[in-house]
Structure 1
Amino acid sequence: MLIVSRQESLSMLLSAADQIAFDRVSQCRPQWTGMCRVNEVLPDQSKRLLHAGPPFKLIDTIPAPVMNSLCVGAVWEGWAETNDQAKQMILQGEICVEPAQDHSIVVPLAGVVSPSMQLMVVADANNPGARKYSVLNEGMVHCTRLGKLDPELQAHLSWLNSSLSGWITTGLTQPIDLLPVIAAALADGDDCHGRTIAGSALIAAQLKQANTGTIPTDVNEFMDGAMAFALNLWMAASSLMMSAAEAVEGASLITKAAGNGYEFGVQVAAKPGHWITMPAPEIKGAVEEVHAGLNALGAIGDSAVVDFIGLGGQVLNSAPASYEGLKAYLPEDALGRPDKALTGMLSGFGSRPAMTSARQVVENQAGPMVLLGMIESRGEAGRIGGGVVDVPAEFFRHVLNEAGL
């Protein structure tokens, strides 16, 4: 009987191109190096707002929660006085709306990115010119990612992008290596998407230790309560690592993945810059009792990159709390998905499998699972639960065909 090791089984379906692409990913060393404003990354001064996921082909397909957050961003920038005025400007094309990932930025769920916002800069220590950016995590209460017209959001956004970002900048005098923190968080039971408690505590501790002065009370309380703070860093790190595979001819590794609530899309290494989409799949999960009867949007958020690189839904075998909370909604082979959808072992993730390969998904007829918050579709209730998207294998056949692979 032929005995094949797990490492060998993960690599048996690799093409030479996929191997080259994966090797480039494995050489990436993401670091949180600092903060910058969006308008330093996109300096053209246009009225532009960024959202998660692939582009909206028609303006009237923008879901209500995403439109709400776009309006909040426009008002915060001072382009409009009211949300209604902002919506009209968006519908009339006076404010353009584009995917954040097309500009090397990631944003969770129904969140928005606007020019005056602060970004966390994540760069490759082995290739400092390679960078990705993420908005700051907004905490657990007043969040554009929830897609609600929260009257307290304007003040909270101003605080995030001044007081909090200023405190972070003061303390972030040395880069923070993110792979060791991710590995430690995984070892402590995080999945690094649906559960980010350990990772957020580790990041908060490093920031507090680096700031030698007295920590402002509001900052201290925020960091202690921001249980998802690390997620935005994990998103940027995942996006950076995935992008290392871009432009390898013939490679089928997925380099971008996200939903906008209307469509879900990916980009593949062999065809960078080209979104391949499908209708946004349903998020299967429990709706909280207080929100019984409400409906959630389909898959939404750039945080899908975390799962596609091999975290989130692909590490449930080492994240028992996440698994127990979701097991009623998981496919029978959930714990075996990493071996079916992912490409090879990544030492930076504690020697876990990493990088979704469209070829491997099609061959094994099993796609990656994505852990996502469920955002109420009318834009009124915000997050109504959490669940999982089992991205269908047939979609990846379409990806291969459209990419000419």
Structure 2
Amino acid sequence: MSDPTQQTLDALNGTAVHLRHVRKARDATDRVGPRHFLHAGPPLELAAVPGPMRGAIIAGLLLEREAGSAAEAEAIIDRGEVSISPCHDAGAVGAMAGIITPNTPVVVAGTAGGVTTFSPLNEGIGGAMRYGSYDDVTLARLRWLGDVLAPALDEAVRRSDPLDLPALVAEGLRRGDDCHNRLVATTAALLVALTPGLLRTRLDREDLAKVVAFIAGNGHFALPFAISAAKAVTLAASGVPGSPVVTAMASNGREFGIRVSGLGDRWFTVAAPVGDPVLVEGATLDDVTPTMGDSMIAETAGFGAFAMTAAPAIMSFVGGDAARAHEITRRMRTVCAGTSERFLIPGEDFRGTPLGIDVHKVRATGVEPVINNGLAHREPGRGRAGAGITPIPVEPFAAASRALEEAGHAGRAAAVEGAHA
């Protein structure tokens, strides 16, 4: 049997993932219901959700027509009549609040090995459900995404050649994206790939023009396609006994958590960090919700902040300069088990990105893994408060490292006991 770490790296490097569907979540999973939603990050009690996640739940109740007004939705929440569970437990990843309801339109990805993952379509960086907005504009956009854009894209997928999603990310890196917070080129490449199929759909010209204009006007549109692929490859890399490689990072705005291949679905958590963000005009640090979302699955899979040397333009969005980007990528190599064979950085002579955060290396070096992430305003519906490069404290990685050592000692003791039985 191969070394556990290498076995995990092989899965991260070699798992093929293709776009399967774009449809409503109720058609992709049985893990959602009219009053049961998925959320970002580790498990969280309904009463503890931060402001933007509460706003997203209000939006979800209105979208599902379980409530006729925001006040009615708030009363449903306050009575505890909504249940929530982590996206990661359903094979999903949700940006920011990550609330997924039955009628949320989602991107569905899959592997030949039967792994299926999904993520909500990106609404744009203004007011959006993932930031806690629940006004009429947000709800109208969500319904249009679910009733017009998603079916059009789903038909386009059926009428197109299979779309290799890791290859889409790799192309984005070649074109100057990091594929987490900068996806301008990736979105353009995605639109090019889907346009022949869109032209074969039954959409009338006006709806087709609106669909194309929405995608072209949203530089983050490709995000759920990228992170659905990342979730698929990290799921394929999960469950390798003894492997110290991280397979999930996520935050619910209260706690930041990681999962490790050799430790299954167990979460190791720390208080959600804030970092040192670039704030939007008028915002202060007091306005910021601590890190929230599942989209740091990008870094877990070897892109995002781990590929920032491929995306110099992102530094104006998250803070810093090209030298800082190079330093971050260099430091991430010191805590990773290997190098990506498909996510290559042109500015480093096409060297692969750092791949496979190794909890033993994080514990030994004290080097904090980093993500680049958006930050939501703490008040529902106020949208994005900023973005930045956020170091993740060493504590959960060190705890996972110790847990792996303890599991190894227990396994060896059991083997010795069995040999003497």
Under a length normalisation based on structure 1, what TM-score does the superposition of the two structures give?
A: 0.90
The answer to whether 1:21 aligns with 2:17 is no
The answer to whether 1:337 aligns with 2:331 is yes
Take 1:182 and 1:321, find their aligned partners in 2: how far apart are those partners? 17
In structure 2, the gaps of 5 or more residues are 345-351, 408-421
CA 1:216 to 1:324, structure 2 compared with 1: closer, same or farther past 3 Å? closer
Give the match for residue 89 of structure 1.
76
DSSP 3-state at the match of 1:31 = strand
By how many angstroms is 1:356 displaced?
1.4
Matches within 5 A, 1:201-350: 201-213=188-200, 214=205, 216-292=208-284, 294-323=286-315, 325=317, 326-327=319-320, 333-350=327-344
By how many angstroms is 1:245 displaced?
1.7
Given that 1:330 and 1:388 are in contact with CA atoms closer than 8 Å, whether structure 2 keeps it comes out as: no
Letter of the 2:152 partner, please give it: W
DSSP 3-state at the match of 1:80 = coil
Take 1:223 and 1:332, find their aligned partners in 2: how far apart are those partners? 31
Given that 1:90 and 1:97 are in contact with CA atoms closer than 8 Å, whether structure 2 keeps it comes out as: no
DSSP 3-state at the match of 2:136 = coil
Give the match for residue 145 of structure 1.
130
Give the match for residue 63 of structure 1.
50
Given that 1:106 and 1:235 are in contact with CA atoms closer than 8 Å, whether structure 2 keeps it comes out as: yes
Please identify, of 44-53 and 58-67, the stretch whose mean Cα deviation from structure 2 is larger.
44-53
DSSP 3-state at the match of 1:98 = strand
By how many angstroms is 1:44 displaced?
7.3
CA 1:157 to 1:332, structure 2 compared with 1: closer, same or farther past 3 Å? closer
Percent identity, aligned pairs only, is 26
CA 1:161 to 1:238, structure 2 compared with 1: closer, same or farther past 3 Å? same
Given that 1:188 and 1:198 are in contact with CA atoms closer than 8 Å, whether structure 2 keeps it comes out as: yes
Letter of the 1:106 partner, please give it: V
Given that 1:171 and 1:210 are in contact with CA atoms closer than 8 Å, whether structure 2 keeps it comes out as: yes
Please identify, of 147-156 and 93-102, the stretch whose mean Cα deviation from structure 2 is larger.
147-156
By how many angstroms is 1:16 displaced?
2.5
Give the match for residue 356 of structure 2.
355
Deviation readout 1:261-290 (Å, 9 max, x if unpaired): 111111111122222211101132121223
Q: Decide which of 150, 166, 169 is 1:179's aligned counterpart.
A: 166
DSSP 3-state at the match of 2:181 = coil
- Measured on the aligned residues, the alpha-carbon RMSD in Å equals 2.2
Given that 1:191 and 1:313 are in contact with CA atoms closer than 8 Å, whether structure 2 keeps it comes out as: yes
The answer to whether 1:78 aligns with 2:65 is yes
Take 2:234 and 2:293, find their aligned partners in 1: how far apart are those partners? 16
The answer to whether 1:37 aligns with 2:24 is yes
Under a length normalisation based on structure 2, what TM-score does the superposition of the two structures give?
A: 0.86
Total equivalences in the alignment: 388
Give the match for residue 374 of structure 2.
373
DSSP 3-state at the match of 2:282 = helix
Give the match for residue 394 of structure 1.
395
Q: Decide which of 29, 38, 41 is 1:53's aligned counterpart.
A: 41
DSSP 3-state at the match of 1:200 = helix
Q: Decide which of 116, 120, 144 is 1:135's aligned counterpart.
A: 120
Given that 2:247 and 2:260 are in contact with CA atoms closer than 8 Å, whether structure 1 keeps it comes out as: yes
CA 1:27 to 1:222, structure 2 compared with 1: closer, same or farther past 3 Å? same
Deviation readout 1:128-159 (Å, 9 max, x if unpaired): x1111111111233411222333312211110
DSSP 3-state at the match of 2:380 = coil
Given that 2:41 and 2:88 are in contact with CA atoms closer than 8 Å, whether structure 1 keeps it comes out as: yes
Take 2:148 and 2:353, find their aligned partners in 1: how far apart are those partners? 38
Q: Decide which of 106, 115, 120 is 2:107's aligned counterpart.
A: 120
Matches within 5 A, 1:158-197: 158-173=143-158, 174-197=161-184
Letter of the 1:355 partner, please give it: G
Take 1:281 and 1:255, find their aligned partners in 2: how far apart are those partners? 20
In structure 1, the gaps of 5 or more residues are 1-14
DSSP 3-state at the match of 1:121 = strand
Given that 1:283 and 1:374 are in contact with CA atoms closer than 8 Å, whether structure 2 keeps it comes out as: no
Give the match for residue 140 of structure 2.
155
Given that 2:279 and 2:385 are in contact with CA atoms closer than 8 Å, whether structure 1 keeps it comes out as: yes
By how many angstroms is 1:333 displaced?
4.1
Letter of the 2:342 partner, please give it: G
Deviation readout 1:157-192 (Å, 9 max, x if unpaired): 110001001110121123211122211110111011
Take 2:53 and 2:384, find their aligned partners in 1: how far apart are those partners? 13
Letter of the 1:218 partner, please give it: K
